[in-house]
Amino acid sequence: MKKIFLILSVLTVTFISNSCADKFDEIDINPNSTDKPLSYGIFNGANKELMDNTRDEWQSGRIVLPWVQYSAQRAYTEEDRYQYRLSTGDALWSFSYRVAQDYKQIIDLNTDPATSVQMALYGPNKNQIAAARVMLSYVFLNLVDSYGDIPYWSYGNKDADFQALNIDTTLQPKFASQQKVYADIMKELKEAAAMIDENQSVFSKGDNLFSYLNNNIRTSKGIKLKKFANSLRLRVATRVKGVVPGAEAHIADAIASGVMTSNADNVGVTYENNLVNPSPLYDNFRVRSDFSVSKTFVDLLKGNSGNFGLDPRLFKYATKSKLSAAELADGTNKSLKDRILDGSITESTDPNDFKGMPYGVPSSLAPSQAASSNFFSKNILKPDYTEILMEYSEVEFLLSEANGWSQTNYVNGVKASMEKWGVNAATISSFVSALPAASKANVLTQKYISLFMQPYEAWAEYRRTGYPNMLLLPGQTGTLNVASGGNTTYTFTSLIAGLTDLPTRLFYPTTVQTLNTANYQAASNAIGGDKMNTKLIWDKN
């Protein structure tokens, strides 16, 4: 739209004064652009923007993080009850396509003969293209999982319905069907993995995503990118198996081609240990205190629901609700929040220190519960937190499902999650030795626990499978503490008519409705209506 406005403005000036005609090209050039951009700089900037906006206090903290009941709001509980701000959903759409355009630029720079030689100085061209294709697949997966039919673009498929990102020729792109999008994402991930030289770097410098750390030195490795591409394809194919033709073959091929095998293969964006580029939720927590770990999740980890008993990750995920006597008496006068922010708070292993924030309470009752609820832990609320795109533990749970609910993969997944969060070896051994046998319910519930702080994936898995099956749903009764002691009850009431479960999708953005009306209406009709309870093609729960 900015370009359209610029062109219209220039044409207006041209009619007024013909003397400006020979200046048109100068006006249309961005003086801050460069003809020799650093591809790894574009890549890292796009990765950070992606995580900044999908794991922040808006698109995550006020939408999907509470919807899957990892968290509960301490004040604005209307959003927990599904009355999310439409501007937040609009932002998810707009920044996702902006980030996708950055990844496409990396492809363009590495395929254009005029720039590919320069780009080769920053890493093998094919590996850079593969990295961009994989990250485009990640972005479009999040979009199609969240909305349904979407405008889509593909590097390797010139389908006439794939019109997104071609902004010079198409300002009102069609919406591609979910069937086509998921099928092409799997194809793109397979082709991207095949073109990777796993023995070469992805980027010769500045690779903050696909590098391994050895002796405090990070080394970019194509093999890590390849494992991520195959693992992500396993995720997608598992999502759409039985729905999109060929998904089962992709599951087998992705596994055979090599998926993640340890926590060293985890892929995530690590923020800086400063206040310039800190992690998004830490940055928010410095000035606000809106979010607590939900009572639903705390009860599961304490063993009050489910059949796993006390989970030691409780003490890694959440902060105790009050300071110890020693902390109160040490003379620093630091509050609970101060100690979380500076990392000085001690970890409690007493389950009685954890109650969680009741989920979906009326706003009038929220203040009475906030004081005894638990914030996220210092392991999460730290400036240099790593926001995970995908990790090894998830791969093991996917393998368990692919292998008929394999006990070995199930145990491996739980162990990998606990090791990532720093649970000691003896405690891990004790917990996994007492795990109930692998089954659909047990594997998927443990997968949910391990996906903590990756809410979009947990939301997709709940819609696909119905697990975990202990979430508080609209119309159900929850419990909360009262000042006089004991408990009282409340009813979780959805503020969106017709929703009796978790929302199944987000509304299409209002900007799309007004600026791309015909294609929006066609997409809305195709999916069964632009509603929060319209199910996506794989949502069989």
Sequential DSSP letters for 98-159: HHHHHHHHHHHHHHSHHHHHHHGGGS-HHHHHHHHHHHHHHHHHHHHHHHSSB----SS---
Integer Cα distance of 132 and 114 in angstroms: 19
Amino acid of residue 218: R
Predicted TM-score (pTM) of this structure: 0.93
Check residue 85 and give its pLDDT.
Answer: 87
Integer Cα distance of 225 and 128 in angstroms: 10
Fold that domain 39-283+382-527 belongs to in CATH: 1.25.40
Check residue 127 and give its pLDDT.
Answer: 98
pLDDT digits (tens, 9 = 90+) for 465-476: 999 999 999 999
Check residue 10 and give its pLDDT.
Answer: 35
H/E element, 219: strand 217-220
Check residue 541 and give its pLDDT.
Answer: 81
C-beta of residue 386 within 8 angstroms of C-beta of residue 209? no
**All structural domains of the chain with their residue ranges:** 1-33, 39-283+382-527
Triad 11, 12, 14: Cα angle to 5°: 60
Question: Which regions of the chain are under pLDDT 50?
Answer: 1-25
Check residue 18 and give its pLDDT.
Answer: 42
Check residue 197 and give its pLDDT.
Answer: 98
